[in-house]
């Protein structure tokens, strides 16, 4: 029989062995951060890519396309697919939830906002002018009075050598040629802005055809988008039609100088369009119209153009991505505007729109 002293010594030795074995086991057990010799370390989790889908106005399509391409160069995780389908279709697709954002030169009506369950922000992103481009051989400096260009679109002035056109162009060789009017065939914010201007300066137009994204034109042939109208004018001798300034510049089409409210003939340019927008105060709902601007140097047909965004998105990643794209477009993107023949937003307008973008979540 073992003595008490022996038992105490045995227990002490046994406890020491257990402690040593446990310690060795822990040392040999790999930690989560340890790598096996020769094995490839696990790569970090890939960042999520986000694709935004938008559609709408053709008026700002050239600058939107450029913005979105430039932004993607800086942030490859975000891509933007924008389709130039016209303001009317853009609003419908946005309200129906088929796109992440829409675009319209006519903003949205109260009824359209209601259809979108008031989950919408109207964001003016850029501005430009609507010009009357024409195809008239030998005539490069056409001037059109208010009576002349409203008469052309009403169909009451049918030939290029009409006295109302000749009065403002005494030295031009105006041909005895029928006027081939070209207008939009699709629902268009450009049409809305143009017809709104005609209604503001001509009572007959205000009564009928009136104002809208689509109207019943008294004369002319239709073409789809600013692109289609521009192409139709260029290929039709004697044609005239309304298109966004950038399209006329890029396709090298002559543009008429128009009589403004101060009875001065003003040619379309970035300077004359900027003068027209200078006095515009942007209201809380971001819908501002310049139907007949004041000022001797103001070009008469100018407009903001809007991106339609949701206040709240179901997908937080898309909300965050759109905020990044819009914030960049309202800062760095604005610097590209003049080279693309658009008007940079006035600083106070850009600041107000940035505050609205910050509300997206």
Task: Quote the pTM value.
Answer: 0.84
pLDDT of residue 280: 80
- Three-state SS for 26-84 is HHHCCCCCCCCCCCCCCCCCCCCCEEEEEEECCCCHHHHHHHHHHHHHHCCCEEEEEEE
Under a CB-based contact definition with an 8 Å cutoff, are residues 318 and 99 in contact?
no
pLDDT tier at 4, thresholds 50, 70, 90? very low
Comparing 25-29, 178-182, 292-296, which segment has the lowest mean pLDDT?
25-29
Q: pLDDT of 65-96, one tens digit each?
A: 999 999 999 999 999 999 999 999 999 999 99
pLDDT of residue 135: 98
Residue 253: which of 236, 277, 275 has the closest Cα? 236
Q: Pick the more confident residue, 289 or 301.
A: 301
Q: Which CATH class is domain 50-128+302-357?
A: alpha beta
Percent of the chain at pLDDT above 90? Answer: 83
pLDDT tier at 35, thresholds 50, 70, 90? very low
pLDDT at 320 over 90: yes
Q: pLDDT of 238-291, one tens digit each?
A: 999 999 999 999 999 999 999 999 999 999 999 999 999 876 888 999 998 889
pLDDT at 114 over 60: yes
pLDDT of residue 47: 73
Mean pLDDT of 304-330: 97
pLDDT of residue 46: 53
Average confidence score pLDDT of the chain? 89
Q: pLDDT of 187-205, one tens digit each?
A: 999 999 999 999 999 999 9
Comparing 3-12, 116-125, 267-276, which segment has the lowest mean pLDDT?
3-12
pLDDT of residue 266: 98
pLDDT of residue 203: 97
Q: Residue 85, SS3?
A: coil
Mean pLDDT of 19-33: 40
CA distance 140 to 178: 18
CATH 3.40.50.720 fits 129-277, yes or no: no
CA angle 277, 323, 47 (to 5 degrees): 150
**Matching CATH topology for 50-128+302-357 and 129-277?**
yes
φ, ψ of residue 269 in degrees (nearest 5): -165, 165
Q: pLDDT of 94-103, one tens digit each?
A: 999 999 999 9
Domain layout of the chain by residue ranges: 50-128+302-357, 129-277
pLDDT of residue 344: 93
Under a CB-based contact definition with an 8 Å cutoff, are residues 38 and 295 in contact?
no
Mean pLDDT of 153-181: 97
Eight-state DSSP code of residue 307: E
pLDDT tier at 37, thresholds 50, 70, 90? very low
pLDDT at 310 over 80: yes
């Amino acid at each position: 029989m073992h003595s008490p002293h022996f038992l105490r010594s045995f227990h002490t030795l046994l406890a020491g062995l257990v402690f040593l074995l446990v310690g060795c086991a822990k040392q040999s057990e790999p930690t989560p951060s340890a790598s096996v010799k020769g094995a490839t370390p696990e790569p970090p989790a890939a960042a999520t890519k986000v694709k935004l889908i938008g559609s709408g106005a053709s008026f700002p399509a050239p600058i939107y396309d450029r913005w979105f391409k430039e932004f993607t160069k800086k942030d490859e995780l975000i891509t933007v697919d924008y389709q130039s389908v016209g303001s009317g279709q853009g609003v419908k697709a946005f309200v129906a939830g088929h796109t992440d954002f829409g675009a319209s030169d006519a903003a949205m009506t109260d009824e359209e906002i209601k259809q979108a369950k008031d989950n919408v922000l109207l964001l003016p992103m850029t501005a430009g002018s609507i010009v009357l481009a024409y195809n008239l051989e030998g005539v490069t400096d056409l001037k059109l009075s208010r009576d002349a260009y409203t008469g052309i679109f009403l169909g009451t002035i049918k030939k290029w050598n009409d006295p109302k056109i000749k009065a403002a162009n005494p030295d031009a060789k105006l041909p005895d040629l029928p006027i081939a009017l070209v207008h939009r065939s699709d629902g268009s914010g450009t049409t809305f802005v143009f017809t709104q201007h005609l209604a503001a300066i001509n009572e007959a137009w205000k009564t009928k055809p009136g104002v809208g994204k689509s109207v019943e034109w008294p004369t002319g042939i239709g073409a789809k988008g600013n692109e289609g109208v521009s192409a139709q004018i260029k290929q039709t001798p004697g044609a005239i039609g309304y298109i966004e300034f950038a399209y006329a510049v890029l396709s090298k089409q002559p543009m008429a100088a128009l009589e403004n409210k101060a009875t001065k003939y003003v040619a379309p340019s970035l300077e004359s369009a900027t003068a027209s927008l200078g006095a515009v105060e942007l209201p809380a709902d971001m819908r501002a119209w310049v139907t007949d601007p004041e000022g001797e140097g103001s070009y008469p047909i100018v407009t903001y153009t809007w991106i339609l965004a949701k206040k709240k998105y179901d997908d937080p990643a898309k909300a965050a991505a759109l905020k990044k794209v819009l914030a960049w477009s309202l800062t760095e993107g604005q610097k590209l505007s003049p080279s693309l023949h658009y008007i940079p937003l006035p600083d106070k307008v850009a600041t107000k729109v940035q505050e609205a973008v910050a509300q997206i979540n």
